[in-house]
């Protein structure tokens, strides 16, 4: 029985992440998608909100669990006895950072081996950062995230901007 973990910020989860989740779930018996709870880094959504959205978007994939973690990834991997860490690779720009992270993790914990899945071409440009940026200026994010996620992002920006009417007038 092989268990994989797909860690990330998922602030918010995008179609690119969902594509990786679906493909990784077919390769391993169980896949745990785990949100990094990083209190030092400011995020649009709290870890609980990100977990909730992931639970909803993964509800139709039977072998996927959603969790959160804080601290070092290797400690979480060791504690939960995961066999493999999954990361998506979009482009060469991701490679250097991802390679460094994978090698550091393996140095810290031999068991923490990383398997990279190349992002599907249709999502190669996509990142949570750009989704947040487009949404912040009221742009259309329907091609980037599921509707339930888009609704929550717009809601966040309405609250942030102090729009009490929900932007309806």
The least distance separating ligand PNS from the CB of residue 80, rounded to whole angstroms, comes to: 14
Contact 97, 105 (CB under 8 A): no
| Marked catalytic residue, from 17, 50, 132, 152 | 17
**Site mask, ligand PNS, residues 36-65, x = CB under 6 A?**
x-----------------------------
Q: Which residues pair with 117 in a beta bridge?
A: 88
SS3 label, residue 8 = strand
Measured CA to CA, the distance from residue 26 to residue 7 in angstroms comes to 17
Told to check if 73 binds ligand PNS by CB under 6 A, we report: yes
**Site mask, ligand PNS, residues 9-28, x = CB under 6 A?**
x-------------------
Position among 7, 18, 32, 82 found at the interface with ligand PNS (CB under 6 A): 7
Measured CA to CA, the distance from residue 30 to residue 15 in angstroms comes to 20
- Planar angle of CA 132, 138, 143, nearest 5 degrees: 65
End-to-end CA distance of the chain: 55
Told to check if 8 binds ligand PNS by CB under 6 A, we report: yes
17 as an active site residue: the answer is: yes
**Site mask, ligand PNS, residues 99-128, x = CB under 6 A?**
--x--xx-----------------------
Sheet order of strands, 3-8 included: 64-69, 30-36, 3-8, 84-89, 113-118
Told to check if 68 binds ligand PNS by CB under 6 A, we report: no
- Catalogue the active-site residues: 17, 41, 90, 128
Which residues in this chain contact ligand PNS in the complex, by CB under 6 A? Answer: 7-9, 36, 72-73, 101, 104-105
């Amino acid at each position: 029985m092989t268990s994989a973990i797909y860690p990330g910020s998922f602030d918010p989860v995008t179609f690119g992440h969902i594509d990786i989740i679906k493909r990784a779930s077919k390769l391993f018996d169980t896949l745990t998608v785990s949100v990094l709870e990083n209190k030092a880094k400011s995020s649009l959504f709290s870890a609980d909100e990100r977990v909730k959205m992931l639970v909803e978007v993964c509800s139709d994939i039977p072998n996927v669990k959603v969790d959160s973690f804080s601290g070092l990834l290797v400690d979480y991997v060791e504690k939960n006895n995961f066999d493999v860490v999954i990361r998506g690779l979009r482009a060469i720009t991701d490679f250097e950072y991802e390679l460094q992270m994978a090698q550091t993790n393996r140095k810290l914990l031999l068991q923490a081996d990383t398997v990279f899945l190349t992002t599907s071409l249709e999502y190669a440009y996509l990142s949570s950062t750009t989704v947040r940026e487009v949404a912040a200026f009221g742009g259309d994010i329907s091609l980037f995230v599921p509707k339930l996620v888009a609704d929550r992002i717009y809601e966040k920006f309405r609250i942030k901007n102090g729009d009490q009417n929900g932007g309806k007038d």
